[in-house]
Chain A
């Protein structure tokens, strides 16, 4: 079967005034549907940059990128926003929940941006996911009333609510204590068992060991 992610020769160069800062120097990678992949490497090696490009938050300076059969490296603006909304579920190190919205509203947000999903369906899907992640009792709470682990699991629910092709997490346990981190990791593993495709950035070897496969990055290149 075709790979879900197929990237060839991805380069990303940041321009700081007169100086070019290369963050990625030609990355080739593929991820198949149902895989659980960890991206590891030292700080500043380009892990986040790669994940942002794979998650369509950013575009590469050069190279080609096919996501779920579409050549998204040619997309921009509204179409890219659509791909982010439908194909990718993003989980951030700092949770990034909307402080003014309650848990259910936070989770339903991507469906709002999708448009055309009736309110009742948005609610239902958000509630179903929250129940699955064991957060039913938190539905009406504000993010600041939750523990770190709970917040990250709400964020995972939000990432999954739109049934994306792939779940991407950038250091999802980076801001959590070991107990909460283990909890979140267990959730991610469970999702993988249920058939979700997961790409996770981490620089913790123990965390990376839980993945099926590891992509090592150093200085903007895949080294193993």
Chain B
């Protein structure tokens, strides 16, 4: 009915007191701006996390790891053989939701070539490990089934270790390296792996460059009294999905161990410090946003209330001409919402500028998507609705005579 007129009135109000309106909208503008920035950064991070998951083997890669032994293990826990090579064989034979299984054995051992030596991670595993994790050698080859059968003393070096032991990665090929005081021949060097969530956060895959792979059979023969494993890396069949595979593996392993002495998770889940920093950063922005929206809403409610008091004669006249209380209520509410939507648009502009700045200086991807823009406007409209309710009720409750007598 009079929505058009309310919109017009809202815009006119804005035009007449432009400075004052902008000032009253400041909180709302800051609030929507911050929230737009947070959402854009989150969106960018979400996208990155997706890419990261792709990078570390894709959706469907599952890691089962040996849980640290309890300080005072129960009888049941003591009875368990823990995670073993035979678990891997068992899953391979029985878990129908799995496409590939690779047992993993990990230990820190001494590396030495001539006078260079240091301690670092050694992974004992199988050829499928490279397939599951989607990693490739830069030169040479990865571990082979023959290596496994022969318990060969061969190793595939991570890029960083090849670099620090032999100067350059290609030069490491066919050389001998001492690992854990045993001599291994280098049959391959892996590609350098890197992934950056932000410029300041460092290479999230650096750990993969600092390790060597050896056949798991060799590892257990030379360095292990038993066939216990540190982890299993599994690949779910796409048609089953990771969730179903996790459930199946959990129940199969639980049946074998009689106790849950292992952890299972999807690959690519981040828990690193830069993630926490990012969350803190976003949290601050979010708090600023919500507080600004809240105070902004209160300011707008106040100003609208003053405007209603100032315009009692107008509302009285409208009622005298036939406006209902409901009509007046809608009129005032629509006016507030028009003004706050304007604030939302300005906030969106501010947020977009802020997102660009943050993304530029922190080297983080962030995009203000249409969905984010829409949420900003909707948020502003909701703030307007909430802030407008009380002033609109006040206006609607006026009686025409009282309103006309005023002033």
Residues of A within 8 A of B (CB): 52, 55, 57-58, 77-78, 81-82, 84-86, 90, 92, 94, 96, 98, 100-101, 105, 109-110, 112-115, 158, 162
Question: Taking chain A's interface residues, is the majority helix, strand, or loop, or is none over half, making it mixed?
Answer: helix
Which residues of chain A are near B322, meaning CB under 8 Å?
A: 81-82, 84-86, 110, 113-114, 162
Q: List, sorted by A's number, 6 A–B pairs whose CB atoms are closer than 8 Å.
A: A78-B325, A84-B320, A85-B321, A86-B322, A90-B321, A113-B321
- Asked whether A84 and B325 contact (CB < 8 A) given A58-B401, A100-B8, A113-B2, the answer is no
Contact among B8, B320, B324 with A78 in the assembled complex (CB-CB below 8 Å): B324
Interface centre among B320, B325, B327 (most CB of A within 10 A): B320
Which residues of chain B are near A98, meaning CB under 8 Å?
A: 314, 317
Q: Is A77 a contact of B401 with CB atoms below 8 Å? A: no
Within the assembled complex, what's the spacing in Å between the Cα atoms of A81 and B398?
Answer: 13
Which residues of chain B are near A81, meaning CB under 8 Å?
A: 319, 322-325
Residues of B within 8 A of A (CB): 1-2, 5, 8-9, 12, 313-314, 316-327, 399-401, 404
Within the assembled complex, what's the spacing in Å between the Cα atoms of A101 and B400?
Answer: 20
Q: Is B399 a contact of A58 with CB atoms below 8 Å? A: yes
Q: How far is the CB of A134 from chain B (nearest CB, A)?
A: 22
Which residues of chain A are near B326, meaning CB under 8 Å?
A: 78
Which residues of chain A are near B401, meaning CB under 8 Å?
A: 52, 57-58
Which residues of chain A are near B1, meaning CB under 8 Å?
A: 112-113, 115
Q: How far is the CB of A183 from chain B (nearest CB, A)?
A: 22
Within the assembled complex, what's the spacing in Å between the Cα atoms of A125 and B249?
Answer: 80
Known: A81-B319, A96-B314, A96-B316. 10 other contacts (CB 8 A): A77-B324, A81-B324, A85-B322, A92-B320, A92-B404, A100-B8, A110-B321, A112-B5, A113-B2, A113-B324
Interface centre among B317, B319, B323, B327 (most CB of A within 10 A): B317
Closest to A85 in B: B322
Which residues of chain A are near B316, meaning CB under 8 Å?
A: 96
Within the assembled complex, what's the spacing in Å between the Cα atoms of A101 and B321?
Answer: 15
Which residues of chain A are near B12, meaning CB under 8 Å?
A: 100
Within the assembled complex, what's the spacing in Å between the Cα atoms of A52 and B1?
Answer: 26
Contact among A94, A100, A105, A109 with B321 in the assembled complex (CB-CB below 8 Å): A109
